[in-house]
Amino acid sequence: MALTPRNTHRDLAYFFLGLIIAFSISGIFLNHRQTWNPRRYTYAVREIQLSPLLKEQVTDSFVTAFTAEQKIEDALRRFSVDDKNMLRISYTMNDVSIDLATGTGKIETYRTTPILGQMTKLHIDTSKWWIYYSDVFGLAMLTIALTGMFIEKGKNSFWSRGWWLALLGMVFPLIFLFLLS
């Protein structure tokens, strides 16, 4: 088989097809993660009732005791009391909100959506080997783009028709980047 732009374009696209699809789908979900995050969606909500608390009673030791008492086996991220006297405790896969005046609250437990949650991890994983593979993938996408420029001949070639579409494709994201953000 000859090493032509068409063959290179085709074979790299076939090889990276699974990753291209995974990146496309997970990228769409990550764009909308404020609405629905496949890495962290509500799985269960449990209502709780504590004795009313004062803001001054909310300390590291209180949160540690609360975590043990509620049998939350999760890493604590942070906690705070907001302007409305609501205690918010954030764990990796749980969120707690408690009205200090009444002691009523809830514990929301999250889980990762199977497959979609793992696919979104591809965008944020920082392991050494994944970074190397992502670099190879980036170079492959660049190669696919460049070889795609030389596949078509004649009136539909890159130099006859494709260059202005490519230019438009580069300008369009810049409009969003500079003017709309």
Q: Is the dihedral angle over the CA atoms 8, 9, 13, 14 positive or is it negative? A: negative
Cα gap 178→142, rounded to integer Å: 24
Domains of the chain, residue spans:
5-35+114-179, 41-111
pLDDT at residue 58 is higher than 90: yes
The enclosing H or E element of 47 equals strand 41-49
Model pTM greater than 0.85? no
Residue 41 has pLDDT above 80, yes or no: no
Strands 76-81 and 86-91: antiparallel
Q: What is the torsion angle, in degrees rounded to the nearest 10, for the CA atoms of residue 133, residue 136, residue 137 and residue 138? A: 120
Average confidence (pLDDT) over 77-102: 95
What does the alpha-carbon distance between residue 33 and residue 43 come to, in Å, rounded to a whole number? 16
| 141-169: pLDDT as tens digits | 899 988 888 888 888 888 888 888 888 88
Q: Taking a C-beta distance cutoff of 8 angstroms, is the pair 140, 16 a contact?
A: yes
Using CA atoms, how far apart are residues 129 and 59, in angstroms rounded to an integer? 41
Angle at 117 between CA 87 and CA 30, to 5 degrees: 80
Supply the mean pLDDT for the chain. Answer: 87
pLDDT for res 131: 83
Instruction: Report the relative pairing of strands 76-81 and 41-49 from DSSP bridges.
Output: unpaired
